[in-house]
């Protein structure tokens, strides 16, 4: 690696992450779905990079920027669960269509429409100008030197990696959606840290690729579980008001969504998650015993 090139990589990467966030922002604020997706990804990647790359990660300005990025990411994710739920419900309806299933889909579509309207309001209420100012000033201060940035990544890798590996080992083959979703969040955060490390070190993405597999597999499991829970809620409400046909249809669809979720859990187990995670941490250079 060229030493001169390496010394400039932290600042270049920080600027690149800022561009990734702000490029889709105008269209995202206008409601463009592809741009909103890119905004969500940009928020995650910048939130992973910022504490590693800025000179003073504990400063008030950095902490405020991270909070605003978190709020932006949450606002941009406002309708995401319902977007995915509708796609999954359409797949289930295609297997066994019925008037009741169509009516349930209309309910979810109406709920998504309301959620999108609230999401647009939430996005417009955010302090975007303040976020842009903070990020520009953080860049003007310069980036953390390469050695310091890599040292921060080692701390993240060891702490988060140990926690994730312990959770994966503890859960073994059990189907516990909440605990598995927590593992997915670990995988996502470690994946973005691995991407920062790869960009700084100028190397391949073996760790990021392995963690992405875990994240995506558990993401599909979680999405199906969310739909199952949602449909069970509709079944309970319909049953309470005497709409037996609707309750029966919602319950049947919920059971099929739950089956899908368990199938995705089976695919996760086929990844052999314990050695996969250990291998990802080894690729990142994890130093703790057993990883």
- Report the domain count for the chain: 1
Backbone φ and ψ for 205, nearest 5 degrees, come out as -110, 45
Predicted local distance difference test score (pLDDT) of residue 291: 35
Q: Is residue 48 part of a domain?
A: no
Q: Which domain holds residue 216?
A: 145-285
With CA atoms as reference, report the closest residue to 49 among 76, 14, 21, 73.
Answer: 14
Question: Which pTM was predicted?
Answer: 0.89
Q: Is residue 32 part of a domain?
A: no
pLDDT digits over 191-220, tens only? 999 999 999 987 778 999 999 999 999 999
pLDDT digits over 85-111, tens only? 999 999 999 988 899 999 999 999 999
Predicted local distance difference test score (pLDDT) of residue 287: 46
Q: Is residue 206 part of a domain?
A: yes
Q: Is residue 27 part of a domain?
A: no
Predicted local distance difference test score (pLDDT) of residue 5: 66
Higher-scoring residue by pLDDT: 117, 256: 256
pLDDT digits over 139-150, tens only? 999 999 999 999
Predicted local distance difference test score (pLDDT) of residue 148: 95
Q: Is residue 245 part of a domain?
A: yes
3-state helix, strand, coil in the chain (%, to 5): 85, 0, 15
pLDDT of 112 > 80? The answer is yes
Q: Is residue 58 part of a domain?
A: no
Predicted local distance difference test score (pLDDT) of residue 286: 57
Please list, in sequence order, all residues whose beta carbon lies within 8 angstroms of the beta carbon of residue 175, skipping any fewer than 6 positions away.
Answer: 262, 265
Query: What's the CA gap between 117 and 119, in Å, rounded?
Result: 5
Average pLDDT, rounded, for the chain: 92
Residue 203's Cβ-side half-sphere holds a number of Cα atoms within 13 Å equal to 11
Query: What's the CA gap between 275 and 36, in Å, rounded?
Result: 35
Q: Is residue 264 part of a domain?
A: yes
The counts of H helices and E strands in the chain are: 12, 0
With CA atoms as reference, report the closest residue to 51 among 169, 156, 184, 132.
Answer: 156
The CA-to-CA distance between both ends of the chain, in Å, stands at: 27
Q: Is residue 186 part of a domain?
A: yes
Across residues 249-274, what is the average pLDDT? Answer: 97
């Amino acid at each position: 690696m060229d030493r001169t090139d390496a010394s400039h990589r932290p600042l270049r990467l920080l600027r690149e992450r800022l561009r990734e966030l702000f490029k889709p922002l105008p269209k995202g604020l206008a409601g463009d779905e592809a741009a909103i997706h890119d905004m969500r990804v940009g928020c995650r990647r910048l939130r992973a990079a910022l504490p590693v790359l800025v000179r003073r990660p504990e400063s008030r300005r950095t902490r405020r920027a991270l909070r605003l990025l978190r709020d932006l990411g949450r606002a941009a994710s406002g309708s995401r669960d319902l977007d995915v739920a509708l796609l999954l419900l359409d797949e289930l309806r295609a297997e066994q269509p019925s008037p009741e299933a169509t009516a349930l889909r209309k309910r979810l579509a109406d709920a998504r429409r309301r959620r999108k309207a609230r999401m647009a309001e939430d996005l417009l209420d955010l302090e975007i100008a303040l976020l842009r100012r903070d990020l520009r000033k953080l860049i003007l201060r310069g980036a953390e030197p390469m050695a310091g940035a890599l040292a921060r990544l080692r701390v993240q890798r060891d702490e988060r990696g140990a926690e994730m590996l312990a959770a994966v080992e503890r859960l073994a083959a059990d189907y516990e959606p909440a605990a598995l979703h927590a593992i997915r969040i670990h995988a996502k955060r470690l994946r973005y840290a691995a991407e920062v490390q790869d960009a700084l070190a100028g190397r391949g993405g073996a760790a990021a690729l392995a963690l992405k597999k875990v994240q995506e597999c558990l993401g599909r499991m979680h999405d199906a579980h969310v739909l199952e829970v949602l449909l069970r809620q509709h079944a309970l409400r319909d049953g309470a008001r005497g709409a037996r046909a609707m309750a029966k249809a919602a319950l049947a669809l919920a059971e099929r969504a739950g089956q899908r979720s368990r199938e995705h859990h089976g695919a996760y187990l086929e990844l052999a998650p314990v050695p996969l995670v250990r291998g990802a941490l080894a690729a990142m250079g994890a130093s703790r015993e057993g990883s």
